Amino acid sequence: MKIQDLLRKDVMLLDLQATEKTAAIEEMIHSLVEHGYVTDFETFKEGILAREALTSTGLGDGIAMPHSKNAAVKEATVLFAKSNKGVDYESLDGQPTDLFFMIAAPEGANDTHLAALAELSQYLMKDGFADKLRQVTSADQVIELFDQASEKTEEPVQAPANGSDDFIVAVTACTTGIAHTYMAQEALQKVAAEMGVGIKVETNGASGVGNQLTAEDIRKAKAVIIAADKAVEMDRFDGKPLVNRPVADGIRKTEELINLALSGNAEVYHAANGAQASTASNEKQSVGGAF
């Protein structure tokens, strides 16, 4: 399954009328309900707003990804909406938002659906892709853009754990695990490659742990970056310099995190039990806590 399979043309809104956050959310949900992908407006809205209350899904650069894994969702769907006026969406950079991907995932979403949703972050991180979306005038053009981009998609550059001083490891996680987790992963991999830094990024998403860090990865890493809004396994990083920030910083302040991790000024993490845990150990809460 590809993200194009979840981008339903019938629900797309290419001229979103709302200019305020709640109104924009309601306009998008109405389209999902009207076309039968969401069965209950209020239940789904409650889920979307609960996620927004944790931290805005307005990622900056004009992009927002409101999302909910919700009992009111009949069929996994991604609604694309474009605003010609801009919406005051309380985005992380404080600027108006004009591109929206509202993700509606059923409570029983399978790994295939979740993997397709994770793909969305790869497209949005591509240079110039968002600007092309701003130019579309039809739903067919939206799908065509994704089709063209998928043909050019390459595996992200990820240096192996080779013992270099410039090799780091990272963990990304968000509360729902269907958007920010993978956006942060993509951002860290992309910026690290641009900086000539080797990195391996573990994701703690809705479908479980992906690209899991091994004990050898951690041993060889100069430092650790945690970009997470929920509990992740921490004991394994005992004795390593560690930078712990919200997942949004993994997306918006990527270079800052990498520089801090490599600076030698990151605080050394000490596990409560004073011993490293295996990757199969019970999950421990990250330093920053879970939202």
Express each pLDDT in 131-179 by its tens digit: 999 999 999 999 999 999 887 654 444 544 444 469 999 999 987 777 7
> Domains in the chain, start-ordered, CATH in brackets?
3-152 (3.40.930.10), 167-263 (3.40.50.2300)
Query: Which one of 30, 35, 113, 174 is the catalytic residue?
Result: 174
Note if 67 is an active site residue. Answer: yes
Length of the chain equals 291
Listed in sequence order, the DSSP H helices in the chain are: 21-34, 41-54, 111-124, 129-134, 139-152, 180-195, 215-220, 247-252, 254-263
Q: What is the pLDDT of residues 226-262, one digit of tens each?
A: 999 888 999 999 999 999 999 989 998 999 999 999 9
The whole model's pTM is what?
0.74
Note if 113 is an active site residue. Answer: no
Query: Which one of 67, 113, 180, 270 is the catalytic residue?
Result: 67
Ranges of the chain with pLDDT below 70:
111-114, 117, 152-165, 274-291
Three-class DSSP labels, 49-93? HHHHHHCCCEEECCEECCEEEECCECCCEEEEEEEEEEEECCCCC
Distance CA(290)–CA(44), nearest Å, equals 23
pLDDT at 203: 93
